[in-house]
């Protein structure tokens, strides 16, 4: 589904590369976790894949279902079924969650020659999805993320994911800033959305989230590269020994730069 090949990227107008040759393959039905210390390039990877204009790809390519999407705009990538749950969801005052989602849902439907939903049909559809994150109706008529608590913002990301039903979702530190109850709700939501046709890539600092959403693959990112991949046991190993120990081990083996 997703194939990232030797991806290099930097901030537009600056010289320093943040991604230094990322390779990643994600298939339908898989859940991946990317872990790594602060500043390793995890969040940048999710932004570059979803088409943030601040970044420039200098080398490599991103293939999505065989199509090269490296040069596509963010909205075009969204039309193909790519979704990013933001680490810091953005406030847009005066526009309700419902208005945004109906506009987004129908725009994506149009782009894929699927039928659009009229306001009444959409109301039914969206109300059903509220269960995914255990929120009440009033959540729909509030302005996008405006005045939301940190937990509500993160829940709203997962809610939007449920409504837009993407093929591939990047969750950028969705667990950060959540208390244990909210973390449960959010994780349950993600588990309800996951199926054998879609795929999820979680970006996280801690193993905590992975106890609730079990990944099939765990990757460690350091200095702009995925330096080690494995199963769930790799996350446990990191939690026990820390990133430093892994870095040392790799240096000893001559695998790190």
Which residues contact another protein by CB under 8 A?
11-13, 50-54, 56, 73-75, 77-79, 83-84, 86, 89-95, 99-101, 103-105, 107-108, 111, 143, 160, 164
Residue closer to another protein, measured from CB, 93 or 119: 93
Instruction: Determine contact, residues 232/33, Cβ cutoff 8 Å.
Output: no
- CB 78, min distance to another protein, A: 4
What sign results for the dihedral spanned by CA atoms 57, 66, 216, 252?
Answer: negative
What's the CA gap between 49 and 17, in Å, rounded? 15
Find the length of the chain. Answer: 257
Q: Please say which residue, 201 or 234, places its beta carbon nearer to another protein.
A: 201
Nearer to another protein, 89 or 224 (CB): 89
Q: 145 or 187: whose CB is closer to another protein?
A: 145
| Shortest Å distance, C-beta 86 to another protein | 7
In angstroms, what is the minimal distance from the CB of 148 to another protein? 13
Least distance (Å) between residue 218 CB and another protein: 25
Cβ distance 228 to 221 under 8 Å? no
Q: Are 174 and 209 in contact (CB under 8 A)?
A: yes
Q: Which is nearer to another protein, 103 or 118 (CB)?
A: 103
Contacts of 228 (CB under 8 A, 6+ apart): 219, 220, 234, 246, 250
* Shortest Å distance, C-beta 43 to another protein: 13
CA–CA gap between residue 118 and residue 56 (Å, rounded): 38
């Amino acid at each position: 589904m997703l194939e990232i090949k030797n991806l290099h990227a930097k901030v537009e107008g600056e010289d320093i590369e943040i991604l230094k040759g990322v390779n990643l393959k994600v298939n339908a039905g898989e859940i991946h976790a990317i872990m790594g210390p602060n500043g390793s390039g995890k969040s940048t990877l999710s932004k570059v894949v979803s088409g943030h204009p601040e970044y420039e790809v200098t080398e490599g390519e991103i293939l999505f279902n065989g199509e090269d999407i490296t040069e596509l705009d963010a909205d075009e990538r969204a039309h193909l079924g790519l979704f990013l749950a933001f680490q810091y969801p953005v406030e847009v005052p005066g526009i309700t969650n419902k208005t945004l989602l109906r506009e987004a849902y129908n725009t994506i439907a149009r782009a894929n020659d699927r039928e659009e939903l009229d306001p009444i049909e959409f109301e039914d559809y969206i109300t059903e999805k509220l269960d995914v994150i255990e929120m009440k109706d009033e959540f729909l008529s509030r302005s996008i993320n405006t005045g939301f608590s940190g937990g509500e913002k993160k829940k709203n990301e997962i809610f939007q994911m449920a409504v837009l039903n993407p093929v591939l979702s990047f969750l950028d530190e969705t667990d950060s800033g959540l208390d244990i109850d909210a973390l449960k709700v959010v994780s349950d939501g993600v588990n309800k959305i996951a199926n054998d046709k879609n795929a999820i890539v979680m970006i996280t600092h801690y193993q905590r989230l992975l106890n609730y959403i079990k990944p099939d693959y765990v990757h460690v990112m350091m200095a702009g590269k995925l330096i080690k991949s494995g199963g769930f046991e790799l996350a446990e190993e990191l939690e026990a020994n820390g990133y430093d120990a892994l870095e040392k081990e790799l240096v000893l083996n001559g695998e790190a730069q």
